Structure 1
Amino acid sequence: MAKEKIVQRNSIDAQYDVVVVGAGPYGLSVAAHLLAYGLNIAVFGKTLELWRNHMPDGMFLRSHWWASHLSDPHNLWSFERFFQEASHQACYPVPINTFIDYALWFQQQAVSNVDETYVSTVERHDERFVVRLVDGRHVYSSAIVMAPGLSYYAHRPAEYAHLPPELLSHSVDHGDLHRFQGKHVVVVGGGQGAIEYAALLHEAGASVHVVARHPIFWLAPDRSSERSLFEQILAPNAGIAPGWKNWALEYLPYLFYRFPQHTKNKFIRNHYVPAASDWLRERIIGRVNLYESHLISKVDEAGGRAQVVLSDGSKITADHVMLATGYHADISRLPMLHPSLLRQIQTNQGSPLLSPWFESSVPGLYFVGFTALRAFGPLYRFVVGCKAAAPRVTRAIMRQTGAGK
């Protein structure tokens, strides 16, 4: 069977058609497609590590379950089938642990032998790549698919860099919030992540202050299951959110790529502003301190605590400042890319310039998921983008390597 062609842990100096770096939703989806076409591949990385270790219990997906399928070429391992075979029930919003259980089930069915060893370096020698692993092994491959987790791209504004780590973190640093029980925590940000972490911190026993530069934009209550035909014509259901623009991003997933970069940048900036789901509202209003339309003008350490001064002159003394300031794709932050390889990759504001097939300027080197956002659009911030990226990359690699013939 195809899935038996995954790398074995004792192999040394092995040659593969493709190495997939990362075992999150995008890495697993690409691997499932590659395996189905008989390619000899290796998948390296801890399965669902970001989701399992960097997202606390109690979180929910912003997306519906029907917009959160991982992708395999015959749609055998859908969320719907998982619900039929497992003890979980379809619901909205989807608990993070339900999604994790689904993704692990998908991995066991479609990509059964992920090697959870970390990749140390990826280099290109002549016409092939050399992948060195932290356990000392190294393997060779004709193609590399980079599917890194978001933790590499956490945006940490420079004005907070002087604070020591015991006073400052990014939300992605935390898989357990109970350490903040009885503490005063300032959460910086106004999007889904900031508001949900604020709710979870409050529920873990912290006193929470949310500082957002704009008013919190609350999304309308979800009505996807009860919208009339007329409403669906005006704004069809889509994986990101209802609306024709979101529908086009999902069902014409490569159209966005064709626009000039400045147009794409403007679209991403103007149409996907930070927002919070309506189901968080009752967990926030009256429960945490909201400082909307405020900036932090100064923050310093004093007496082992953070002294925060807001733009209106008010002050907060906090035990911790948590940055929920989002993510910025910058491949220079990927430690496994060897400097010699990084120099060969053409970029724009840190993001790789990609072909219509997700291939970088280095032949055989592909980037999927959030890294492809600036080239392919907002769809690839979400799991729903797996169904567009995985078959596209697979077709390109099939042509490039001539494998599977």
Structure 2
Amino acid sequence: MREQIETVKAGRPERDPVVRSPARLQARPRRADAVVIGAGPYGLATAAHLAAGGLTVRTFGEPMESWRQRMPAGMYLKSTPSASSISAPRSGHTLADFCAATGEEPLVGHRPVPIDSFIRYGLWFMDRNVPEVEQRRVVRVARDGSGFSVVLGDGEEFGASSVVVASGLSGAERVPAELTAVASVSHSSEHHDLSPFAGKRVAIIGAGQSALENAAILHEHGADVEVFVRGPRVVFAGPPADVTRQGRGTVLKPESPLGPGWSLFVFTHLAGRFRHLPVPVRLHLVATVLGPFGAWWLRDRVEGCVPVHLGHRLEAATSEGDQVKLTFAGPSGERRVAAFDHVMAATGYQVDVDRLDFLDAGLRREITRTAGTWPALGPSFDSSVPGLYFTGLAAAAAYGPLMRFVAGTEFAGRRVAAAASRRRGSMLRRL
């Protein structure tokens, strides 16, 4: 009998899936070849590839947690269906395979992928590839000889040869300094259900997909929402020629999981060479490639529905009774003041190793950084600490924009698994 997560077949997925823990899962090895921290797409893909390589793997985290709890119900993925599959070591586990196996409506071409469908797909993938995910919290990872000591929230402690950090967006939320000391302020990732904002005045700070889609959903729930953008414009992607078909591209615009065009093709297929670029170039590309813009299917839900104020730079925020008073510098330098019941910062994420408090302070100090906050990574997602790997968003400064999307699980999962397998072999030979 395997550990299973019960999910619904339709409608909103259960927020807190019921987990059955068979008796045999109570006996755990005192040492694991590899520990994966995080059970989102990158964690699940990496764990699947590690297990397929014959390693003893323990995977920790709430399955698809960020997708179930940190993204709004009713949203859609920015990536196309063909670019939204989690990498598995064997065939039969793509998003299309999931739809065929479960009777879900096929997701093809450029049709947007509903988040509920993707969550169900992630749990389906987990059940078939990483069935023994432990919904337990890792509270401390520290050096222990040539490996690591791992401590869980319930007090269990065990050893591991390798540790993979796949914690995704957790702890990386970026909120403008002007908003940090004010009540009734949140980051866009803090909300799954936006319906409680019905009838409220809500300000959203930001210009990207999260800002625009949250604004659309809030408006559709009956909120009085306004968007404030620092730049001079809001950008929406152009619609594809045919929503139901995804073309093969052309010589001038080859297709890639990130979209058409040579630059996106290169970022996808030459991700391993990205880390050789100068650091300022890498950071600029990570911030700007597929940077703040709305998906093509979002335009009609925003334009003419939600007020969007361009060229507005946030200067101050103060609490005034139950409301938040925001002060902006307008496009011509004029001052604009407005009061809201709630302010939502859709201002992205900033990876910072020091915010990963489950890593021992001494261990964090050993990690070489890129630009002070990102982990500096080698050719196999390896940090400066032997056996400690970072994948997903934390690897974007080393491997580029691909790491911000599910499509990157193929490149990352295989590389990390191969490196951890080599490390295990090397450690065994030294015994």
For residue 52 of structure 2, what is the amino acid of its counterpart? A
CA contact (8 A) 2:253 2:261 kept: yes
- 1:101 and 2:120 are equivalent in the alignment: yes
Cα shift readout 1:172-220 (whole Å, capped 9, x = no counterpart): 1111111111100000000011000001111111100100112101111
Secondary structure of the corresponding residue to residue 394 of structure 1: helix
Other-structure match for 1:336: 358
For residue 337 of structure 2, what is the amino acid of its counterpart? K
Other-structure match for 1:350: 373
Mapped to 2, the partners of 1:182 and 1:346 lie a distance apart of 48
Tell me by how many angstroms 1:227 deviates: 7.2
Gaps of 5+ in 2: 4-21
Secondary structure of the corresponding residue to residue 371 of structure 1: helix
- 1:17 and 2:33 are equivalent in the alignment: yes
Secondary structure of the corresponding residue to residue 343 of structure 1: helix
Of 278, 289, 298, the residue aligned with 1:260 is 278
Other-structure match for 1:34: 50
Mapped to 2, the partners of 1:136 and 1:7 lie a distance apart of 19
Mapped to 1, the partners of 2:88 and 2:56 lie a distance apart of 17
Counterparts in 2 of 1:66 and 1:310: CA distance versus 1, 3 Å: same
The percent identity for this pair of structures is 37
Cα shift readout 1:146-192 (whole Å, capped 9, x = no counterpart): 0002031010121211202xx10000111111111110000000001
Of 266, 271, 274, the residue aligned with 2:289 is 271
Other-structure match for 2:10: none
CA contact (8 A) 1:12 1:139 kept: no
CA contact (8 A) 1:171 1:323 kept: yes
Other-structure match for 2:388: 365
Mapped to 1, the partners of 2:218 and 2:49 lie a distance apart of 39
- 1:245 and 2:271 are equivalent in the alignment: no
Cα shift readout 1:250-297 (whole Å, capped 9, x = no counterpart): 222212122222221233344333111121111111211110121122
Tell me by how many angstroms 1:78 deviates: 1.1
Secondary structure of the corresponding residue to residue 366 of structure 1: strand
Gaps of 5+ in 1: none
Q: More displaced, 72-81 or 29-38?
A: 72-81
- 1:321 and 2:343 are equivalent in the alignment: yes
Mapped to 2, the partners of 1:115 and 1:245 lie a distance apart of 39
Tell me by how many angstroms 1:7 deviates: 12
Mapped to 2, the partners of 1:13 and 1:336 lie a distance apart of 21
Tell me by how many angstroms 1:65 deviates: 1.2
Relative to the length of structure 2, the TM-score reads 0.88
Cα root mean square deviation, aligned? 2.2
Runs (4+) off by over 6 Å: none
Cα shift readout 1:348-403 (whole Å, capped 9, x = no counterpart): 23101111110000000000000001111000000000000000011111111118
CA contact (8 A) 2:174 2:347 kept: yes
Written as runs of structure 1 = structure 2, the 5 A alignment for 1:5-404 is: 9-11=25-27, 14-91=30-107, 92-164=111-183, 167-214=184-231, 215-223=233-241, 232-312=250-330, 313-348=335-370, 349-402=372-425
Mapped to 2, the partners of 1:105 and 1:59 lie a distance apart of 20
CA contact (8 A) 2:163 2:389 kept: yes
Secondary structure of the corresponding residue to residue 234 of structure 1: coil
Cα shift readout 1:292-340 (whole Å, capped 9, x = no counterpart): 1211222211122111122122222100000000001111111211111
Q: More displaced, 352-361 or 290-299?
A: 290-299
Mapped to 2, the partners of 1:388 and 1:27 lie a distance apart of 13
CA contact (8 A) 1:83 1:90 kept: yes
Counterparts in 2 of 1:154 and 1:338: CA distance versus 1, 3 Å: same
Mapped to 2, the partners of 1:132 and 1:9 lie a distance apart of 18
Mapped to 2, the partners of 1:144 and 1:48 lie a distance apart of 19
For residue 364 of structure 1, what is the amino acid of its counterpart? G
Tell me by how many angstroms 1:103 deviates: 0.8
Mapped to 2, the partners of 1:134 and 1:365 lie a distance apart of 20
Tell me by how many angstroms 1:247 deviates: 1.1
Mapped to 2, the partners of 1:253 and 1:191 lie a distance apart of 24
Mapped to 2, the partners of 1:260 and 1:2 lie a distance apart of 47
CA contact (8 A) 1:238 1:246 kept: yes
Secondary structure of the corresponding residue to residue 268 of structure 2: helix
For residue 186 of structure 1, what is the amino acid of its counterpart? A
Mapped to 2, the partners of 1:228 and 1:378 lie a distance apart of 22
For residue 420 of structure 2, what is the amino acid of its counterpart? I
